[in-house]
Amino acid sequence: MSKLYGYELPPEFKYEEIEDEFKIYLPEGGSLEGVFFTVPKEYTENTNGRLKITLKNKDVIYLFNEKKGTYQTIRWKQVWMGLERIRRK
């Protein structure tokens, strides 16, 4: 059984709404500049300007790198853990 992982984006994460999904940019600076991922609106909740994402740990999302022009598929749990590491720095 898959576990749900929720994450409320801190203010340093920028996002934009595009049709039926959100494009979420990782914080600027360092090697992650220009990297973003998308999440369908149905898995998000927007309260007071803060975006909360809730997906199952095995859900797959796309992680894009605008500088390199590449993308990869990655499980939500890996993204969630990476976001936590960025937030703690």
Q: d(Cα 35, Cα 68) in Å, to the nearest integer?
A: 9
The answer to whether residue 18 scores a pLDDT higher than 60 is: yes
What digits encode the pLDDT tens for the residues 38-74? 999 999 998 887 899 998 888 898 999 998 999 999 8
Residue 22: closest CA among 46, 47, 2, 57: 46
Would the pTM of this model clear 0.85, i.e. be above it? no
Q: Are 26 and 13 in contact (CB under 8 A)?
A: yes
Six-digit token string for 9? 């984006």
Q: Are 24 and 40 in contact (CB under 8 A)?
A: no
Other beta carbons less than 10 A from residue 7's beta carbon: 19
The domains of the chain are located at 4-88
